[in-house]
Structure 1
Amino acid sequence: MTTVAVVPGDGIGPEVVAEAVAAVDELGLGIDFDVLDGINARTYRERGAAMTDADFDRVRAADGVLVGAIGHPSVPDPAYGRGVLLRMRFELDLYANYRPVRLLHDRLSPLRDPTRRGIDCAIVRENTEGLYAGIGGALRPGTDAEVAVDTEVSTHSGVTRVLRFALSAATRSVCMVDKANAVESGGGLWQRCWDRERRTRPDLETRHLYVDVAAMRLVRDPDSFDVIVTNNSYGDILSDLAAEVGGGLGCAASANLNPETGAGLYEPVHGSAPDIAGTGLANPVGAVLSAALLLDRLGHAGPARSLRAAVRETVEAARCTPDLGGDLDTRAAGAAIRAACR
């Protein structure tokens, strides 16, 4: 039996993840869902920790993890998010963050030139190092003499393995993005590893861009990219930019992966959006497409294609939520996707 752990989370998370689970159920794959509905901001407020060791053991034992959203304004403490998402990311060593972006319909693109709208690429973000490794601190915090330091960490093994994953995920080209002209030590390491690893795929076009240039080209010529690989912070920013060019965060899916162990955490890129929770405005597409990534990794490539085709069909027909040009609420949009799967 294949088991998927489900963390509905906060805000619109339970609403969108419910539609993703229902969409997978519609495919009849016999997947069992272990729902951990106690991992949320309310639990954190009550006991000071949202994910217990017992919760984490259930996550570790599953064949994949589907997350709705983590975060709520009632819990401003960053320890909450770190104790859930970053704990899973670091303890499961999910070093490759894979964020595919494909424009579902021309009407969703913010770009004026119709010949430049066809974005269909993936951002591969190193997921366990960089500025988000949590190394640093503050001296004399809260005073006029405060000094704050955050250290960006890049290791030879960490950079090498994410470059290899990006090269394995590409079909046409890979663009490595850094800022080596300003960040010399880490940038130099990325450059040396890239120069070696790209030679293993002579069938691919490989190139390098600085992050500021890459951001401009994602807007000016997004269809020129196939796979972009970069560090943690640059990947976070570029993937959100790419998602907006592809129609908005509501459509954006992601997979946090360890290709060697098979562990994976799948979640829509959007946040918990507490301001629209319970209104029916939440867009389930990002969650459903994240579930499709999960199915790919579980060996169900055909059903994953069916889910993506159903999403595309419903968006093209405007059977979707208002942010995508439709007039359906969350549940009706999910039902439309399931109907298209049939």
Structure 2
Amino acid sequence: MIMKKFKIAVIPGDGIGNEVTAEGVKVLNTYAEIKGNVEFSYEYFPWGCEYYLKTGKMMDDDGLKTLEAFDAILLGAVGDPSVPDHISLHGLLINIRQGFNQSINLRPIKLLQGAPCPLKDKGPQDIDFTVIRENVEGEYAGVGGFRFPGRPEEVALQTSVFSRKNTEKVMDYAFKLARKRKKFNKVTNVTKSNALNYSMVFWDKIFEEIATNYKDIKTETTHVDAVSMYFIQKPEVYDVLVASNLFGDIITDLGAALQGGLGFAASANLNLEKEYPSMFEPVHGSAPDIKGKQLANPIAMIWTAKMLLDFLLEEDDTEMIIDAITAVLQEEKTLTPDLKGKAKTHEVGDAICGKLKEIMNAKI
């Protein structure tokens, strides 16, 4: 048996980050223990808003250089009312995403059996799609500035950046994923080219060019405002969607609501070339109001840990983690308050690990 060893950098971050991260690590260790040929080692970093208040920095100056030595990064949550959001976001998350060319943000939108859905007459068979969000350029490129600050003629400029090389890569990934998912074999291009007559016209042009390489994949182009409406009216028509940084950010939070709330929202920030580590994070935020109370739903982090395994191992059996989550949801015995339960964060993690052991031992 060949042992696969991986070094994971863990950044619990702020608020509930420590609590949910512990459950993600717990699931990784449970999976590795039962598989027998996978081993994880962890190094923890104290970066985040609390670190910023002590040092004036969200992470060390040489933080990216330090993280290069790892196979993957597991991040809990970032944000605190004491630090402006644009500082906390750009100082850590965007710094890592852009510094490590994590060009793909992968967001599964899947309603699990037993999870709540705000849409009547919609079930797990209707909500199962994936959003590919461009992750290092677009509207979050950070290009812009202020002119005449504090004066009546003050002006703020924010410029979107779309490069052919990166846009082609994002589009190509979306088509490959649609082929791999084997659902409808369809990619939806999310755009707003009727209003954004340079950036989104360019985006649409690249989409059409890449589509010619995938004759077996159906395509459609839909404006982002219409997509937001259709998520509510007919989510079952979607398979893979590809969107710019801003549009992808917005529609995936709407998608999270469809799958039961942000407590189910997992994500991966992928460096496809594997030149640098990829980063895996739930997207529910730091929820400082419940910090330390063990009330946070850890399912998003556990799902995120599953995505980390997907990327590192490229094995199909990680789906057993989703099966374990689903089993706990259906039992309704060990759920956090957001799911109308009374269980603590660590109790939900323990329950999912228990189910995972049962499922894996029965199949392996």
Q: TM-score, normalised by structure 2?
A: 0.90
2:193 is the alignment partner of 1:193: no
Aligned-pair identity in percent equals 37
2:10 is the alignment partner of 1:6: yes
Question: What is the identity, as a one-letter code, of the residue corresponding to 1:220?
Answer: Q
- Which residue of the partner structure matches residue 281 of structure 2? 267
Matched residues in 1 for 2:127 and 2:242: separation? 16
Matched residues in 1 for 2:339 and 2:278: separation? 28
Question: What is the identity, as a one-letter code, of the residue corresponding to 2:294?
Answer: G
- Which residue of the partner structure matches residue 31 of structure 1? 40
Verify the 8 A CA contact 1:116 1:220 in the aligned structure 2: no
Let me know the Cα RMSD of the aligned residues: 1.6
Stretches of structure 2 lacking an aligned partner (at least 5 in a row): 358-364
- Which residue of the partner structure matches residue 150 of structure 1? 158
User: Among 322, 326, 335, which residue is 1:320 paired with?
Assistant: 335
- Which residue of the partner structure matches residue 100 of structure 1? 108
Deviation at 1:40, TM superposition (A): 2.0
Question: What is the identity, as a one-letter code, of the residue corresponding to 2:73?
Answer: V
2:80 is the alignment partner of 1:80: no
Verify the 8 A CA contact 1:254 1:266 in the aligned structure 2: yes
User: Among 142, 155, 162, which residue is 2:170 paired with?
Assistant: 162
2:298 is the alignment partner of 1:290: no
2:46 is the alignment partner of 1:21: no
Matched residues in 2 for 1:269 and 1:158: separation? 23
Deviation at 1:302, TM superposition (A): 4.2
* 1:58 aligned counterpart, secondary structure: helix
Verify the 8 A CA contact 1:68 1:267 in the aligned structure 2: yes
2:348 is the alignment partner of 1:333: yes
Stretches of structure 1 lacking an aligned partner (at least 5 in a row): none
Deviation at 1:121, TM superposition (A): 0.6
Verify the 8 A CA contact 1:94 1:257 in the aligned structure 2: yes
Matched residues in 1 for 2:219 and 2:9: separation? 37
- Which residue of the partner structure matches residue 180 of structure 1? 193
Matched residues in 2 for 1:322 and 1:269: separation? 18
Deviation at 1:106, TM superposition (A): 5.7
Deviation at 1:79, TM superposition (A): 2.5
Which range moved further: 138-147 or 311-320?
Answer: 138-147
- Which residue of the partner structure matches residue 281 of structure 1? 295
Deviation at 1:118, TM superposition (A): 2.3
Deviation at 1:266, TM superposition (A): 0.3
- Which residue of the partner structure matches residue 145 of structure 2? 137
- Which residue of the partner structure matches residue 43 of structure 1? 51
Residue 111 to residue 76, structure 1, CA distance change in 2 (3 Å): same
Residue 195 to residue 41, structure 1, CA distance change in 2 (3 Å): same
Deviation at 1:65, TM superposition (A): 0.5
Matched residues in 2 for 1:8 and 1:208: separation? 38
- Which residue of the partner structure matches residue 203 of structure 1? 216
Matched residues in 1 for 2:39 and 2:14: separation? 27
- Which residue of the partner structure matches residue 77 of structure 2? 69
Matched residues in 1 for 2:110 and 2:72: separation? 23
Question: What is the identity, as a one-letter code, of the residue corresponding to 2:148?
Answer: R
2:120 is the alignment partner of 1:120: no
Matched residues in 2 for 1:73 and 1:161: separation? 36
Residue 77 to residue 176, structure 1, CA distance change in 2 (3 Å): closer
* 2:140 aligned counterpart, secondary structure: helix
Question: What is the identity, as a one-letter code, of the residue corresponding to 1:326?
Answer: G
Would you say how many aligned residue pairs link Structure 1 and Structure 2? 341
* 1:39 aligned counterpart, secondary structure: coil
- Which residue of the partner structure matches residue 57 of structure 1? 65
Matched residues in 1 for 2:28 and 2:222: separation? 38
Verify the 8 A CA contact 1:174 1:206 in the aligned structure 2: yes
Deviation at 1:261, TM superposition (A): 2.0
Verify the 8 A CA contact 2:115 2:259 in the aligned structure 1: no
Matched residues in 1 for 2:173 and 2:135: separation? 12
Residue 66 to residue 197, structure 1, CA distance change in 2 (3 Å): same
